[in-house]
Structure 1
Amino acid sequence: MSATEFAAANLSRATGAGLDPHEYLRVTGELADLDQWGEAFMRTAHGHLARAGQAATTVSAGEHFQVAARWFHVATLGPNRESALAAAEADTAMERALDLLEPEARRLEGPGFTGWLRGPADAAATAVVVPGLDSSKEEFHDVIAALLRRGMAVFAMDGPGQGVLAATSTVRADYHHVIGQVIDALGTQSVGLVGLSLGGYYVTESAARESRVAAAVTVSGPFRLHWDVLPAPVQDLLIQRAGGEEAARRFAGQVDLSTLAPRTTCPLLAVDGGLDVIPGVTNGESLARLAPHGHYLRIPHGDHLLGNARPDWLATAADWLSGELT
């Protein structure tokens, strides 16, 4: 795939992560080769760090740190020999942003997770945002903001093989153990979960096996993975995040909600894009049909993660989760 094709394919995802579309097009338009992706995005992120250091106010500095974190994260989505460094830089930049913009935000960590708890301390409900295979707690800016605007506390996390933990851990299919750790650390009786891409599987698996999950939303989540027909880039990414091909094949074989969906007794909303067609991944309609309290929302023109169709689903999903939790 050429740099131009890769940039076009990731435009809606990048803007959903909070990147300015004009800056994104300018940076990607200068790529002569896709191998330059990581270097170009990290250079742009460092530019925002420099602006933060020169900012006249703490608000401006915090905003530049936040944007830098997102550029560092998106630097990991393409070829990048320094992906681990970029993920660490994203984590540090977000910490500096929240120190300035939301000093009440708290870092929570456990054996299998790390992340930021944001929002009011006396919130009536808490939502946990779970990333996917190559996403992180720095990515889903629009989802987190929508939940915060509705008065919820929001924990944006990295789990095993994700974000800043990707360099030191591998993916695991029994994600409910991680969510259990998160709920313990939050000190709450129940949570709502929002899972994006592979995170959609993680939250459904967790909802089926962790009784403290009160409601769940999946966005572009797989119902079942078929290793042999997954695109080569997805296979390569799974091999990297699982620690080898044998482990990746074993993990893919465990991603199957056919028996877990009927056990997901909490309210569940599955959101799909009609243009999201990834070989080896079946859509959320089966999940919503098998879950006892499942609901299905399909946006015909939506792509993977529906970054090109946010007005059609984001407010609806945020309102639905808020209503179910409160």
Structure 2
Amino acid sequence: MNIADFTAANLTRATGAGLDPHEFQRVTADLTSVDDWEQAFMRAARRHLARAEQAASPISAGEHYQVAARWFHIATLAPHADQAPADTEAAAEADAAMGRALRLLEPGARRLDGPAFAGWLRGPADAPATVVVVPGLDSGKEEFHAVTSALLRRGLAVFTMDGPGQGALAATTTVRPDYHQVIGQVVDALGVDRVGLVGLSLGGYYVAESAVHEPRVAAVATVSGPFRLDWEALPPPVRDILTRRAGGTRAARDFADRVDLSALAPRITCPLLVVDGGRDVIPGVTNGEPLARLAPHGEYLPVPYGDHLLGNARADWLPTAADWVSGALA
């Protein structure tokens, strides 16, 4: 993929993650190759780190650290020809910057780590319910700030996490299809009796799979989640990412073969909301409509002009989804 196509493909994802569209345009305007993406975005992130160090108030410093974390995360989206996690430094920097931001802006935020997860618990200690935000194949806890903020505004506690093969754990772990094992560890660490799950992109599969096997899951929402994957039909960039995150081609193929909710969907007994964008068309990926149709309590929210993750149509689904999650957990 040339740099113009790669930039266009990631525009709404980057701006949806909180990057200023004008700054995004300035940073990408002079790029001549996708090989330059990571370093250019890390330089932009470090400019925000410098602003944080020079800020006149802790609030301004925290806001700059927050923006830096997002730039570092989007830096990790660059494709790499080798199989090594070349984005390890950027992911670690994103994790560190997010930690600095929360210590300044939300001193009550708690860091929780386990064998297969790492993340931040935010929100009131007496929240009526807790929601876990689960990222996708190459996303992480720094990306979905708008979803997190919408849930926090509704009085919920929110745990934003990296799991196996994601974010800060991408360098030391690989993706796993039995994600309910991870969610079980998370719920244990949270110390609650029930949770809601919001899964984005591949995270949509993770949370649907978890709803079947983890009895403490009380409600689930998926956003651009796959119903099933077909390895042979997946475009090369997606296969390359999955190969890196799985630790090899054979493991990636095996993982893709496991991503199939056909038999699991009818066993999801909790409330389920499935959000899809009509312009989210990726070869080899079956979108979520069958999941909503087959689940006993499934609801379907399609947005005809929404792209993958619906960063171009947030007003059409995010308030509705956040209200739905809050209501389902009430």
Pairwise CA distance, 1:79: 3.4
Q: Check the 8 A contact 1:36/1:79 in 2, yes or no.
A: no
Distance 1:293 1:220 in 2: 18
Aligned to 2:274: 270
Matches within 5 A, 1:153-164: 153-164=157-168
Q: Which amino acid aligns with 2:64?
A: H
Distance 1:76 1:300 in 2: 29
Aligned to 1:30: 30
Distance 2:2 2:174 in 1: 29
Distance 1:239 1:40 in 2: 24
Distance 2:91 2:143 in 1: 11
Structure 2 residue aligned with 1:125, among 125, 129, 134? Answer: 129
Q: What is the root-mean-square deviation of aligned Cα atoms in Å?
A: 0.8
Q: Which amino acid aligns with 1:220?
A: S
Pairwise CA distance, 1:82: 4.0
1:301 is paired with a residue whose SS is coil
Point out where structure 2 has 5 or more consecutive residues left out of the alignment.
none
Aligned to 1:95: 99
Aligned to 1:201: 205
Aligned to 2:4: 4
Q: 1:315 to 1:14 in 2, by over 3 A?
A: same
Distance 1:65 1:82 in 2: 23
Structure 2 residue aligned with 1:293, among 286, 294, 297? Answer: 297
Matches within 5 A, 1:16-165: 16-79=16-79, 82-165=86-169
Distance 1:16 1:170 in 2: 26
Pairwise CA distance, 1:66: 0.4
Aligned to 1:323: 327
Deviations 1:47-89 (A, max 9, x none): 0000000000000000000000000000000136840000000
Pairwise CA distance, 1:240: 0.4
1:59 is paired with a residue whose SS is helix
2:281 is paired with a residue whose SS is coil
Structure 1-normalised TM-score?
0.99
2:318 aligned with 1:307: no
Aligned to 2:250: 246
Point out where structure 1 has 5 or more consecutive residues left out of the alignment.
none
Q: Check the 8 A contact 2:131/2:156 in 1, yes or no.
A: yes
Indicate the percent of aligned positions where both proteins have the same amino acid. 73
Q: Which amino acid aligns with 1:193?
A: L
Q: Check the 8 A contact 1:59/1:100 in 2, yes or no.
A: yes
Distance 2:49 2:247 in 1: 32
Aligned to 1:168: 172
Q: Check the 8 A contact 1:4/1:29 in 2, yes or no.
A: no
| Equivalences, count | 326
Aligned to 1:190: 194
Pairwise CA distance, 1:243: 0.6
Deviations 1:153-199 (A, max 9, x none): 00000000000000000000000000000000000110000000000
Pairwise CA distance, 1:306: 0.4
Q: Which runs of 4+ in 1 moved over 6 A?
A: none
